[in-house]
Amino acid sequence: MATRLKDVDAVTVGLGWTGAIMARELTKAGLNVVSLERGPDRVPGEDFILPSVRDEVRYAQRLELMMDNSVDTLTFRNFGNERALPIRRIGAFLPGEGVGGSGIHWGALHWRNLPSDFRIRSTITERYGAKAIPDDMTIEDWPVSYDEIEPYYDKFDRICGVSGQAGNLRGKKIDGGNIFEGPRANNYPNAPIKSSNAGLMYGAAAKSLGYHPFPAPVAIASEAYANAEGVTLGACEYCGYCNRIACETNAKASANSTILPALRLDPKFELRTRCFVTKLNYDKAGKKIVSVSYTDMRNGEEYEQPAGIVILSSFVFGNVQQLLLAGIGEPYDPDTKKGVVGRNYAYQFEAGAAAFFPDKELNPFWGSAGMSVCIDDFNGESFDHGGLGFFGGGYIACSSAAAPPIAGRTVPHGTPEWGSDWKRATVKWYHHAARFNTQGSVYANRANFMDLDPTYKDALGRPLIRLTYNPPENEFKMSAFLLSKLEGIIKAMNPVSYDMHPRPRTFTVVPYQSTHNTGGTMMGADPKSSVVNRYLQSWDAHNLFIQGASVFPQQHGYNPTGTVGALAYWSANAITQTYLKNPGPLVHA
Amino acid sequence: MNDKRRAFSAGDGEDTMADETIPRRKFLLGAGVAGTAVAAGLGPQPATAAEPQTSTAATVAAAPQGEPLLILNETEHAFIVAAVDILIPADELSPSGSDCGCAVYIDRQLASAYGGGAKMYRAGPYLKGKPEQGYQLPLTPAEFFSTGIAAANEWSRKTYGRDFDRLPPDQRVEALKAMQEGKAEFHNFGAKAFFGRLLAMTMEGFFADPIYGGNRNKVSWKMLGFPGLPATYANVIDDYRDKRYVAEPQSIADFS
């Protein structure tokens, strides 16, 4: 029998980026907030320290900061007529676990969506006609505009100490920044981080072809930086131990390094780690959540925590699973196209290339994971899709930094995988291989969705989320287009040879691709086709606010975290300025 | 097990290629390295990239004596040593895989929480899926290797008349190629999947921080020109545009 605990004003289910943002904003508004985090605590001064963080085996191969699949995973199939099987060890995407969530091990690429991305269905229809969007492409306009959330993008930039060069400052285009971006009220808080040698070569070649290269914006401080929470972030050391690993100088922003130092000091905040939220207890008639049930994973004790406001801030899969288990909202059915929970799952479509420069020294081991030079000439609706046969796009980047010895040895196609010839090629090319990536959009499709698995259960007996996903034909065409543009730039760099790496036609969960899973609890203007309103408030429970990329209607050609953080601040503002005065629906359908 | 292993220490070397009556450990230490070139002066001091060894004459013991095994048995260890010495042969760039500690690395990894299936979803039912659905066997990594080695040896006996570790180097090359290409038909086990994990673990061991037992004396880091984990590059990046940054590699132990 679960122990019923004393009421609190708000709980967050999970304490990653969005849980920390919401807890901080709500405690500042005077609420008592409890964060329930299923994983361990992670504290920069104790856990992000030298020399132990610079360990490729522990963090990058054995995935210390990632979810524990012995407790929880999901099942996967490409198509709805197949049998889904459990992902027994995560690979293609790596959701984090513990305080800070996926925001500790991320590459820290910090982007905004384009203004036209927020009204993508309208934009395409206006440009290409009412029949341009195929029936199965279920893309939607966001229920917020770029201009509305720009101040919240700006706020999140400042919390993270983002480094970059503005390309559009209040409408004025600036050479050397991303001239395709939406207007920014302010430049980035920090100057761009340094570029890799390969990145500089790529930028010069892209410019010679008439493109508009710029250093990627990253939530990595190029200089020591004090944020609005009174926390000072260190400057990037370019140490090379970055992706999948915590940053010991706190240059790479995480909730742990930017918000939690202040939040932990607030007596209105309480953190309970190793507490696994098993269920949202839903009063359907009253249209609200009355409490959350959780299991203390240290001893198995079960608790019921009543709360005035519930912030659902776990990863995409956990958010969808909680709604389906509690019966909040109608589950999506791909055959009838009815229902909303689990609808419009999308992902990031990444494909890359490698090129070889025997006469150039690239020093590939240093830098940060996100350190790259990009062009954004072929993203979203920044270019004309007339006659191309697809919609969407992405940015095209050369990173070639932070190449670790186990996973970062790039050799030309056809090189033996072992033996003396392999070894000679590995030594020959390690310092002379440049790597490239295209960060492509995935426009939602009717066939891609999440529901509950009928067979497999987690360690607490709850059905696993079942993911049905294969990139639609549209995305393969989009990716081929981006790769053709990338190939043109690579040729202009004059490599001795290069290899393009298109994705296989069926998605596989085995090799790492991207942790940018989106959708399932999408935001929208109409409760018949969305799960949350423009303030991330559930249409079916007015005290439930759902955070993170699960609210994206589709995935655009950018890393999601910048938009995730901005939406959290936007949602928090609606709660503290409006909802608290008169709890109830913030939007009337 | 330690006592048994010590009983067949280095120095007993005999040319015993096909003699199945010779205990495995003794066999390994003798003929196991025959036909492979090992850099001179090895064991403690492997060759570095800065001073490539061209001599192929000298041979040394396959592994330090008396090194305890945590989970592999003698047969399994012999298989791993025989395999990693083909995957990473001794040549002018590095000593052999086992001399670099790859077998030790694999033994320790399989004995670790990872080897025991930590952080892995293990509930049934166990159904054969598509390759896109990833690993679906009930086996932990340690069980996977144990089962895979047994299957590989069974196939080796059927194909070549003896266990894999007792094959001469050219036949071991041929056998590993057959596994890699999926042409080797193991009984009830996927040769290609087994080879894939064997190769991945061998490479991990070769390139990992030496605290895990492989990459002895940072041999692969020196070979690559990878400097390990120094404190900062912020002040040197701009000075090394198109110019190689060279530093003596440092490992976790150097900072501990």
Contacts with B, A 359-398, CB within 8 Å: 360-361, 363, 365-367
Residues contacting A581, CB < 8 A, separation 6+: none
Residue A353 phi/psi, 5-degree rounding, is -165, 165
B245–A88 CB contact, under 8 Å: no
* Range A297-320 average pLDDT: 98
Q: Which residue, among A441, A455, A312, A315, has the nearest Cα to A381 in the 3D structure?
A: A441
Are A238 and A368 spatial neighbours (Cβ–Cβ below 8 Å)? yes
Does residue B78 register a pLDDT over 50?
Answer: yes
Query: Dihedral sign, CA of A141, A142, A143, A147?
Result: negative
pLDDT band at A41 (very low <50, low <70, confident <90, very high): very high
* Range A552-560 average pLDDT: 98
Q: Does any CB of chain A come closer than 8 Å to the CB of residue B235? A: no
- Pick B199's closest partner by Cβ from A367, A417, A455: A417
pLDDT for B57 equals 30
If 0-12 CB within 10 Å is exposed, 13-18 middle and 19+ buried, where does residue A386 land? Answer: exposed
Does residue B51 register a pLDDT over 70?
Answer: no
Q: Which residue, among A537, A545, A562, A572, has the nearest Cα to A146 in the 3D structure?
A: A562
Position A587 in a domain: no
Q: Does any CB of chain A come closer than 8 Å to the CB of residue B229? A: yes
DSSP strands (E only) in A426-496 = 433-440, 449-457, 463-468
Average pLDDT along chain B: 82
Are A29 and A52 spatial neighbours (Cβ–Cβ below 8 Å)? no
- Pick A78's closest partner by Cβ from B122, B132, B207: B132
Task: Provide the residue ranges of all domains of chain B, joining segments of one domain with +.
Answer: 2-226
pLDDT tens by residue, A123-151: 999 999 999 999 999 999 999 999 999 99
- Pick B89's closest partner by Cβ from A83, A419, A427: A419
pLDDT band at B25 (very low <50, low <70, confident <90, very high): low
DSSP string, B35-71: TS---TTTTTS---SSS----------SS-TTPPPSS
- Pick B224's closest partner by Cβ from A73, A367, A405: A405
Distance CA A478, CA A395 (A): 12
A405–B114 CB contact, under 8 Å: no
Question: Which CATH number belongs to the domain containing residue A294 in this structure?
Answer: 3.50.50.60
Instruction: Give the gap in angstroms from C-alpha A422 to the nearest C-alpha of chain B.
Output: 9
- Least-confidence region, from A28-37, A132-141, B230-239: B230-239
- Nearest residue on chain A to B50, alpha-carbon basis: A427
Instruction: Give the gap in angstroms from C-alpha A408 to the nearest C-alpha of chain B.
Output: 10
B256–A238 CB contact, under 8 Å: no
Residues contacting A86, CB < 8 A, separation 6+: A73, A74, A75, A76, A453, A456, A464, B121, B123, B136
Instruction: Give the gap in angstroms from C-alpha B59 to the nearest C-alpha of chain A.
Output: 17
- Pick A237's closest partner by Cβ from B232, B238, B245: B232
pLDDT band at B58 (very low <50, low <70, confident <90, very high): very low
Report how far apart, in Å, the C-alpha atoms of B3 and of each of A491, B70, B75 are.
Answer: 62, 14, 16
pLDDT tens by residue, A371-430: 999 999 999 999 999 999 999 999 999 988 899 999 999 999 999 999 999 999 999 999
pLDDT for B230 equals 79
Residues contacting A570, CB < 8 A, separation 6+: A144, A148, A149, A152, A535, A536
A70–B130 CB contact, under 8 Å: no
Q: Does any CB of chain A come closer than 8 Å to the CB of residue B138? A: no
Are A236 and A162 spatial neighbours (Cβ–Cβ below 8 Å)? no
Distance CA A541, CA A583 (A): 11
DSSP string, A134-156: -TTB-----SS-HHHHHHHHHHH
Distance CA B174, CA B17 (A): 17
Does residue B54 register a pLDDT over 80?
Answer: no
A237–B233 CB contact, under 8 Å: yes
DSSP 8-state secondary structure symbol assigned to residue A5: P
Instruction: Give the gap in angstroms from C-alpha B139 to the nearest C-alpha of chain A.
Output: 11
Chosen from B92, B198, B237 to mutate, greatest number of chain A CBs within 10 A:
B237
Name residue A451's amino acid. D
Q: Does any CB of chain B come closer than 8 Å to the CB of residue A51? A: yes
pLDDT tens by residue, A517-530: 999 999 999 999 99
* Range B87-102 average pLDDT: 98
pLDDT band at A369 (very low <50, low <70, confident <90, very high): confident
Does residue A231 register a pLDDT over 80?
Answer: yes
Q: Does any CB of chain B come closer than 8 Å to the CB of residue A462? A: no
A88–B122 CB contact, under 8 Å: yes
In what helix (H) or strand (E) does residue A316 lie, and over which residues does it extend?
A: helix A316-326
pLDDT for A243 equals 93
- Nearest residue on chain A to B115, alpha-carbon basis: A62
B119–A360 CB contact, under 8 Å: no
DSSP strands (E only) in A372-471 = 373-375, 394-398, 433-440, 449-457, 463-468
- Least-confidence region, from A56-70, A111-125, A487-501, B9-23: B9-23
Position A66 in a domain: yes
- Pick A405's closest partner by Cβ from B120, B221, B256: B221
Does residue B3 register a pLDDT over 50?
Answer: no
* Range B62-69 average pLDDT: 65
Report how far apart, in Å, the C-alpha atoms of A273 and of each of A297, A528, B11 are.
Answer: 9, 36, 56
| Side-chain half-sphere CA neighbours of A370 within 13 A | 30
- Pick A423's closest partner by Cβ from B93, B117, B226: B93
Q: Does any CB of chain A come closer than 8 Å to the CB of residue B187? A: no
B240–A365 CB contact, under 8 Å: no
Distance CA A437, CA A486 (A): 9
Preceding peptide of B125 cis, ω within 30°? yes
**Residues of B with Cβ-Cβ distance to A57 under 8 angstroms:** 204, 208-209, 212
Position A181 in a domain: yes
* Range A188-193 average pLDDT: 98
Distance CA A106, CA A123 (A): 31
pLDDT for B49 equals 39
Q: Does any CB of chain B come closer than 8 Å to the CB of residue A79? A: no
Query: Dihedral sign, CA of B79, B83, B89, B95?
Result: negative
Q: Does any CB of chain B come closer than 8 Å to the CB of residue A418? A: yes
Are B242 and A361 spatial neighbours (Cβ–Cβ below 8 Å)? yes
Does residue A511 register a pLDDT over 90?
Answer: yes
Residue at token pair 């305890």: B68
Query: Dihedral sign, CA of B40, B41, B44, B48?
Result: negative
pLDDT for B24 equals 59
Average pLDDT along chain A: 97
Percent share of chain B, pLDDT over 90: 72
Instruction: Give the gap in angstroms from C-alpha B124 to the nearest C-alpha of chain A.
Output: 8
pLDDT for A399 equals 87
Distance CA A228, CA A125 (A): 41
Does residue B8 register a pLDDT over 70?
Answer: no
CA angle A117, A187, A155 (to 5 degrees): 70
Q: How many CB atoms lie within 10 A of CB B23?
A: 14
Residue at token pair 């959330």: A149
Distance CA A71, CA A227 (A): 36
pLDDT for B231 equals 72
Report how far apart, in Å, the C-alpha atoms of A489 and of each of A356, A440, A563 are.
Answer: 14, 17, 29
ipTM: 0.96
pLDDT for A548 equals 98
> What is the set of active-site residues of A?
516
Q: Which residue, among B107, B135, B142, has the nearest Cα to B121 in the 3D structure?
A: B135
- Pick B119's closest partner by Cβ from A69, A84, A426: A69
* Range A108-124 average pLDDT: 98
N-term to C-term CA, chain A: 39
Percent share of chain B, pLDDT over 70: 74
pLDDT band at A510 (very low <50, low <70, confident <90, very high): very high
Position A588 in a domain: no
Name residue A192's amino acid. P
A456–B231 CB contact, under 8 Å: no
Residue A116 phi/psi, 5-degree rounding, is -70, -25
Question: Crossing angle of helices A473-492/A197-208, nearest 10°?
Answer: 100
Q: Does any CB of chain A come closer than 8 Å to the CB of residue B196? A: no
Chosen from A53, A56, A57 to mutate, greatest number of chain B CBs within 10 A:
A57
Name residue A549's amino acid. A
pLDDT for A1 equals 82
- Least-confidence region, from A471-485, B54-68, B192-206: B54-68
B31: its two tokens: 């003929």
Does residue A184 register a pLDDT over 50?
Answer: yes
**Residues of B with Cβ-Cβ distance to A238 under 8 angstroms:** 232-234, 237
Name residue A411's amino acid. V
Residue B228 phi/psi, 5-degree rounding, is 75, -130
B91–A420 CB contact, under 8 Å: yes
Does residue A195 register a pLDDT over 80?
Answer: yes
pLDDT for B75 equals 97
Residues contacting B238, CB < 8 A, separation 6+: A194
Single pTM value for the model: 0.93
pLDDT for A447 equals 98
A vs B: CB pairs below 8 A: 166
pLDDT for B41 equals 32
Does residue A349 register a pLDDT over 80?
Answer: yes
Are A479 and A351 spatial neighbours (Cβ–Cβ below 8 Å)? yes
Q: Does any CB of chain B come closer than 8 Å to the CB of residue A402? A: no
If 0-12 CB within 10 Å is exposed, 13-18 middle and 19+ buried, where does residue B193 land? Answer: middle
Residues contacting A220, CB < 8 A, separation 6+: A108, A163, A193, A236, A247, A251, A252, A253, A368, A370, A371
Q: Which domain holds residue A209?
A: 3-581
N-term to C-term CA, chain B: 32
- Least-confidence region, from A154-168, A195-209, B19-33, B217-231: B19-33
A240–B252 CB contact, under 8 Å: no
pLDDT band at A73 (very low <50, low <70, confident <90, very high): very high
- Pick B234's closest partner by Cβ from A69, A88, A238: A238
Contacts with A, B 25-84, CB within 8 Å: 49
Q: What does the radius of gyration of chain B's CA atoms come to, in whole angstroms?
A: 20
Are B237 and A371 spatial neighbours (Cβ–Cβ below 8 Å)? no
* Range B161-166 average pLDDT: 98
A418–B212 CB contact, under 8 Å: no
Contacts with B, A 221-280, CB within 8 Å: 235-241
B122–A70 CB contact, under 8 Å: yes
- Nearest residue on chain B to A72, alpha-carbon basis: B121
What's the total number of domains in chain A? 1
**Residues of A with Cβ-Cβ distance to B220 under 8 angstroms:** 405
Q: Does any CB of chain B come closer than 8 Å to the CB of residue A358? A: no
pLDDT band at A158 (very low <50, low <70, confident <90, very high): very high
DSSP 8-state secondary structure symbol assigned to residue A60: I
